[in-house]
Amino acid sequence: MSRYSWTLLFIVATSAAALLVDLPKIPLKFAYGPININTSIGGYAINLPGFIRDLKIKKGLDLSGGVQIVYKADMTGITQSDQATALDAVKAVIDRRVNFFGVSEPLVQTSHVGSESRITVELPGLSNVDEALKLIGKTAVLDFRELQGASESAQMVPTGLTGKELKSAALAFAPDTNEPEVSIVFTDTGATKFQEITKRNVGKPLAIYLDDQLVSAPNVNQEISGGQAVINGKFTVDQAKSLAIQLSAGALPVPISLISQKQVSATLGTDSVQKSIFAGLVGLLIVGIFMIGNYGKLGILADVALIIYGVISLAVYKLVPVTLTLAGVAGFLLSIGMAVDANILIFERIKEERRMGRPRILSLELGFKRAWESIRDANVCTLITCFVLFNPFNWSFLNVSGLVRGFALTLALGIAISLFTGIVVTRTLVRLFYR
């Protein structure tokens, strides 16, 4: 087989895998060691070590509705100069709690209303306000307690080890049994305390309390040094994830109190979403007809590449996962235009080479080669803009909302995939079939 045939085989395999992700109703069961793919019962999920996806399109608040909650931060006792830092810390903790549960593109914002400091939380896809309140929780105080006293009068007493000494807690899987567990890491101070506590409690339970409520009481099997440990038991994945976020929550820097809670209906509505999808399909159809009418056989190959682009893009959105808002849909449609633009640049360059009298095969190769610089420069400039809009480092001088970040993410992913389909896919198809 030639190099181009191997490339075509890779394209077909990639497209088939993406199509499998895009079509959740295809029944499939596959299990090998820690790898478990099951699309036939109830849901559609891929479970790999450290990678779990339910493979459903996640919609933002404007498309799916959700829950909006507003909290007030109590700044009593905090100096004026430290209040901004404290409010950012509260936002970071709440954001971490929400993101750990996998809520699709949550929006956590801070604001000042008069002398009050507020935190607004928007959770797309949640329909139950009580569920959202339970998810975020109130001001959390995490502490570890040990058993003291005789068997009849034994009680759990604080050890002095609190959530302030806990650096992180995460969902993990036991390497030998692949059962869910919780991995915890302490700070240097916490590691010293934890070693002393486990040393005197070997064979005894060490209870973990959150807001004076028992979360877990695992037995200490041995003295643990180094500040790293695991909490294991007969956990399900959801139970281990829930425990991990409760441990990660720790204590909020300042107390917060609930001001308002409400359920937000989808602003676009089902009818509007369907019309948007219909409009997008009509636009794609018009583009496909234009490419065939203007470039003939080359246009047919470009349309095939465009279909592959759409299949791979949808699969990537499910695997990342990307939360689709109206702005995100706009970014996706814009990237489709840029994917077609790359093909137009290539085909027009091929036409120019043919007009100069060069042979067809040479014109094809020169067309791709000489159009690449223009395609590269245009897409790199757009990717730089996407990087700034996404604001990955949370630059304070950029007031970027979640909708803008969603637009930037879908546009950037679309450009990356369009470069693959516009250069690799189209070029391979042209080399193999157009001759």
Cα-based distances in Å from 89 to 33, 75, 108, 132, 417: 41, 12, 12, 20, 36
Report the distance separating Cα 4 and Cα 8, nearest Å. 6
Lowest mean pLDDT among 17-31, 35-49, 89-103, 328-342: 35-49
Between CA 128 and CA 162 the distance in angstroms is 31
Average pLDDT estimate for 349-366: 88
> By the 8 A CB rule, do 412 and 394 touch?
no
For residue 73, the model assigns a pLDDT of 86
Region 291-315: what's the mean pLDDT?
88
Give pLDDT tens digits for 89-131. Answer: 677 777 766 765 555 557 788 877 777 888 888 887 676 677 6
DSSP H or E run through 341: helix 326-355
Q: Specify the pLDDT at position 267.
A: 63
Q: By C-alpha distance, which of 204, 89, 104, 206 is closest to 145?
A: 206
Amino acid at 176: D
Calculate what percentage of the chain has a pLDDT beyond 90: 1
Q: What gap in Å lies between CA 289 and CA 398, rounded to an integer?
A: 41
Q: Residues 215-264: pLDDT tens digits?
A: 778 888 888 888 888 887 777 887 777 777 666 655 566 778 888 887 77
Query: Which residues on adjacent β-strands are paired with residue 209?
Result: 143, 214
* Res 278: pLDDT: 79
Q: Cα–Cα distance between 330 and 92 in angstroms, integer?
A: 29
Does residue 43 have a pLDDT over 50? no
pLDDT tens per residue across span 362-385: 888 888 888 888 888 888 998 898
In degrees and rounded to multiples of 5, residue 46 shows phi and psi of -120, 130
Beta strands 58-59 and 323-324 are parallel
Three-state secondary structure call for residue 323 = strand
Residue range 349-371: mean pLDDT, rounded: 88
pLDDT value of residue 427: 86
DSSP calls for 243-285 = HHHHHHH---SS-EEEEEEEEEPPSSHHHHHHHHHHHHHHHHH
Residue 287: other Cβ atoms inside 10 A: 18
More confident residue, 413 or 136: 413
How many CB atoms lie under 10 A from the CB of residue 144?
22
Structural contact between residues 46 and 37, judged by C-beta atoms closer than 8 angstroms:
yes
pLDDT tens readout for residues 138-181 = 545 678 898 887 666 678 888 888 877 877 777 888 888 788 88
Ranges 6-20, 23-37, 220-234, 267-281, most confident:
6-20
Tell me the percentage of the chain whose pLDDT exceeds 70: 78
pLDDT at residue number 42: 42
Q: In this predicted structure, what is the pLDDT of residue 365?
A: 85
Question: Residue 435: pLDDT band by 50, 70, 90 thresholds?
Answer: low
In this prediction, residue 123 carries a pLDDT of 80
Residue 57 binned pLDDT confidence (cut-offs 50, 70, 90)? confident
